[in-house]
Structure 1
């Protein structure tokens, strides 16, 4: 049977894990925050990470034996590096099982003088990713997009009939965190720790993590407040310390306000507050951070400033645990997890740059989270 185009909008294909789509000159760009939040971004990097589709997948049913996806990626390239950054993997699941992986094609290249500082765009062309030899018969398809690379969907083609997917009857888990929850370094979109944990826990995950931008922004709290959610988790602290975004006096009220907003929409939903995983540079020393020798993150704050309100990871963990303990008296569905239970100081060799876990460590974190959260006695049981 000849390949036939499938509508990207208004047809049988669902885009799950995204809260909005942006119509571009090339096609459709999924976004992980709703459109109304865009005018409130203080920094251009927020938009950049919002269109990195961590946890975003196309879902439909088909009896096709061959599928074709045309996409236009946008990947960064430092002026000091002769090659663009890796675009990541596109992974195809058939009836819930991994059936194929393909490298996402290089499209637009964003030339940068420094981290996140785009100097110019080198336009590229869409590329095509094919999956052939699929099982016969009607099946549920999920195409997971690369978690680290903005990806515009240009076309979907199939050599068979395409129908809307079966409804997802699993509980919905909404998670928000930093780059350590967006998981750029994972070996693929189903290797991020939230996706690993969700698969083990039998739930659907919506990952609202914002690399470098988990700063208790009110528009994120309002987004979570208004979303359907059966389970909620927040991983708080690493970006706040690294960017010196708060001091102790302002950090506590900001956490309370973020939680209060979410509780306006989800008064009884299980809510798990996670503190940062281990990061040697920031455990006792405040930010800001810089790239130190050998490509490792280094903190340039003064440890003596902690006594007057500067934040280290140790201070953040103690404050988050204190806040949860206080609020639990009237909010029994609020829980706390020390991030070091997911990745401890004895595992810092798994931090590729002193901050971000390796692909193997992300999978281990997902298994540990699932064991803590989803088993008998856990907050998401």
Structure 2
């Protein structure tokens, strides 16, 4: 067995981190962020700050002969009083692209969130060491995908042989922005979120800017995407605008135009795919806001309910049906001058018949099987024959 003095410690740096837009150095370690520091200074609420620090799609990537890898982390465990306990986040190790091992950090910092008052408190916790052993004794590409829904402070990386940065993959970089569904809610592993699955099917390197509760057409998110090198871009718009009851119809159209205008400032000809919401019956014709179902929480289950009134759409409140109609119209109008702009109806990814077969467990988020179905359909549409992400359109 390898002794500790044989181990090589490698600094956590951008050379070996993929999928993060910023690495924050703290007194305890390195915290990957999916929004840059300038954008984070403009975040108006704790929900987005937390979501952007959760490393969905973020992975360590390196080439090595090492047969053993140790990663020291401080994971943030979220507790919602009255709701079912959350499972530990999963760290997935891939060797030459193949899933090889999994691990979890059972302890760490604890973030307790009161859903009624939306207040929170944090209790510091210990560093945990994840160990992956028995890897093949040969040169290989290794990836460690961090938990998609658990903030992870990276403290130290050790291997029993030196490592180096991987060679460029040659794959196109796909930059995606969306809601908690894109973030990976209800997926059980970081490579099981629909964007990660679709990236694998499409042969793309993913940067996932799916933010739970926070796909809200924020200008700082658009600017972050504008300034991020990418070959392929997609934005999934709608569900958070409804369940946050954020804006009315009058503001929605100009906000979409402004977001797309900003993206085009940095990526004038990249394929840009606008995706409307998947089927979500509670909000198809009923506006937000959305709230946890208190009666379900009393039974130890987490479900969501729509609090709006369908009659309020006459006053400009948004529903998913309204948003799909508006997005289709906006993209069609802009596409006359932008041949690289495309539209995908979210109901083609997950529609009413899919909901009947694979219902949303909490009435808002897909389960792992539905994540895979969405990924397969997205990959077929975007990366398949003559799709907007095929070489013909790049």
**What TM-score bracket applies, with the shorter chain setting the length?**
over 0.9
The alpha-carbon distance between structure 1 residues 143 and 237, as it changes in their structure 2 partners (threshold 3 A), is same
Counterparts of 1:119 and 1:310 in 2: how far apart (Å)?
A: 30
What's the CA shift string for 1:223-268, capped at 9, x where partnerless?
1111111100000000001111111111000000000011111111
- 1:302 matched to which residue of 2? 309
Is 1:336 the counterpart of 2:343 in the alignment?
A: yes
User: Secondary structure of 1:246's partner?
Assistant: coil
The alpha-carbon distance between structure 1 residues 31 and 356, as it changes in their structure 2 partners (threshold 3 A), is same
Post-superposition, which runs of at least 4 consecutive aligned residues in structure 1 deviate over 6 A? none
Counterparts of 1:363 and 1:136 in 2: how far apart (Å)?
A: 33
Kindly report the root-mean-square deviation, in angstroms, between the aligned alpha carbons of the 2 structures. 1.6
User: Secondary structure of 2:41's partner?
Assistant: helix
Number of aligned residues: 379
Unaligned runs of 5+ in 1: none
Counterparts of 2:11 and 2:187 in 1: how far apart (Å)?
A: 27
- 1:7 matched to which residue of 2? 10
The alpha-carbon distance between structure 1 residues 2 and 116, as it changes in their structure 2 partners (threshold 3 A), is farther
Q: Is the 8 A contact 2:79 2:111 kept in 1?
A: yes
Is 1:46 the counterpart of 2:48 in the alignment?
A: yes
1:376 Cα offset (Å): 1.0
* Stretch deviating more after TM superposition (116-125 or 180-189): 116-125
- 2:361 matched to which residue of 1? 352
Counterparts of 1:325 and 1:89 in 2: how far apart (Å)?
A: 41
Q: Is the 8 A contact 2:279 2:346 kept in 1?
A: yes
* Stretch deviating more after TM superposition (151-160 or 343-352): 343-352
1:63 is matched with which residue: 41, 65, 68? 65
Is 1:370 the counterpart of 2:379 in the alignment?
A: yes
Counterparts of 1:356 and 1:85 in 2: how far apart (Å)?
A: 15
Q: Is the 8 A contact 2:244 2:289 kept in 1?
A: yes
Unaligned runs of 5+ in 2: 297-301
Q: Is the 8 A contact 1:73 1:87 kept in 2?
A: no
Give the structure-1-normalised TM-score. 0.96
Give the structure-2-normalised TM-score. 0.93
1:115 Cα offset (Å): 6.9
1:118 Cα offset (Å): 4.5
1:313 is matched with which residue: 305, 311, 320? 320
- 1:155 matched to which residue of 2? 156
- 1:190 matched to which residue of 2? 191
Q: What pairs up with 1:202-281 in 2 under 5 angstroms?
A: 202-281=203-282
Counterparts of 1:301 and 1:161 in 2: how far apart (Å)?
A: 57
User: Secondary structure of 1:40's partner?
Assistant: coil
